[in-house]
Amino acid sequence: EIVLTQSPGTLSLSSGERATLSCRASQSVSISDLAWYQQRPGQAPRLLMYGASNRAAGVPDRFSVSGSGTDFTLTINRLEPEDFAVYYCQQFAMSPWTFGQGTKVEFK
Amino acid sequence: QVRLQESGPGLVKPSQTLSLTCSVSDDSITGGTYSWSWIRQPAGKGLEWIGRIYTGGSTDSNPSLKSRVTITVDTAKKVFSLKLTSVTAADTAVYFCARETADYTVLTGKYNRRFDQWGQGTLVTVSS
C-alpha cells in the first residue's frame, strides 16, 4: 500500500502567517490522485483540495497545493482563526486508499 | 447538499459483530459517479479507510480488514451498511461514512476522486 507521511506533526503559528504542510508518498503518485482534508475537534473531516488544484466548495483561495512525484505541499496563506485544525492528505492512486497521519496547525 | 448519517450500536462486545448503517439523504446513492465508503478513526489518531461499495454492489476493502468486512447497499432505502466481525478493543473508533465522487477530466485523462461528503461519525466502543 502507499504510505503517506506528513510533516511536521505540529505547526505552531500565529494568525496571518503562512502554513506549509508536507505530504510524502512512499511511491510516486500524481497530484491528481491526492486530496486534502481539514478536521476540527469533534467534527468529521472536511474536503479542502482535490485533483491537483481544485478547491472544494466554499474553500478560500488562500489554500493551495503543489508538488509532484512523492512530495506534495499544502500551503495556507494568511492563517485565519478557523484554519487552526488538523490536516490530512490522502491518496487515490492505488487501493487501499490511505491517509497521512495528519499535521496539527495550532496557535503559537 | 446531501447529508449522510451513521447509526448503530455504540457498544459491541469483543468477538461479536459491529453493524452500522449510513443513511443518504438524496438519490445520489443511485448515481454512477459515486461510491460509498466507511472510514474509521481511533481516539486521537488518524484516519483508516475500511472499504467501499459501488451502487451496483461491487466492493473494495482494505486488506488489513478484508476478511472481517462486509459492505452492502440498499439503493431503494438509500442506505449502505458495514459489518465488521470478530471485533476486539482495537476496533474501538469513531466510524464515518463518506461519499466518494469521481469525475473524469479530459485534460488529464484521469478521474478526480475525493471524499466530498461525510457523516458526522459515530463512536463504537468494543468492551465487555
Closest partner CB to B46 (pick from A1, A46, A102): A102
On chain A, the residues whose CB falls within 8 A of the CB of B48 are 99
Residue-level pLDDT at A71 = 97
* B108 has a pLDDT exceeding 90: no
Q: What is the pLDDT of residue B38?
A: 98
Q: Check pLDDT > 80 for residue A95.
A: yes
Beta carbons of A32 and B61 less than 8 Å apart: no
What pLDDT is attached to residue A61? Answer: 95
**Tens digits of per-residue pLDDT, A40-80?**
999 999 999 998 789 999 999 999 999 999 999 999 999 99
Average the pLDDT over A87-106 and give the result.
97
C-beta neighbour count of A71 within 10 angstroms = 12
pLDDT beyond 90 at B109 = no
Q: Within an 8 Å CB–CB cutoff, is residue A44 touching chain B?
A: yes
Give CA–CA dist A22/B2, Å, rounded.
Answer: 31
Q: What is the pLDDT of residue B17?
A: 98
- Partner-chain contact A32 B47, CB within 8 Å: no
Phi, psi of A6 (to 5 degrees): -100, 145
Exposure string over A50-63, b if 16+ CB within 10 A, otherwise e: bbbebbbeeeeeeb
The rounded mean pLDDT for chain B is 94
Mean pLDDT, range A11-38, rounded to an integer: 96
Preceding amide of A96 cis, omega within 30: yes
Determine the pLDDT at residue A100.
98
Rounding to the nearest 10 degrees, give the CA dihedral for residues A41, A45, A48, A52.
130
pLDDT band at B115 (very low <50, low <70, confident <90, very high): very high
Residue at grid coordinates 471524499: B115
Confidence of residue B25 (pLDDT cuts 50, 70, 90): very high
In eight-state DSSP terms, residue B26 is S
The mean pLDDT of B119-127, rounded to a whole number, is 98
Bridge partners of B20, per DSSP, are: B82
| CA pseudo-torsion sign A12, A18, A22, A23 | positive
B53 CA to chain A: closest CA distance, Å? 13
- In chain A, residues with a C-beta closer than 8 Å to the C-beta of B120 are 43-44
User: A27 — contact with chain B (CB < 8 Å)?
Assistant: no
Residues 12-71 of B with CB under 8 A from A: 37, 45-49, 60-64
pLDDT in the model for residue A36? 98
- pLDDT tier for residue B110 given thresholds of 50, 70 and 90: confident
Question: At B28, is the pLDDT very low, low, confident or very high (cuts 50, 70, 90)?
Answer: confident
Mind giving me the DSSP string for B45-63?
S--EEEEEEETTS-EEE-T
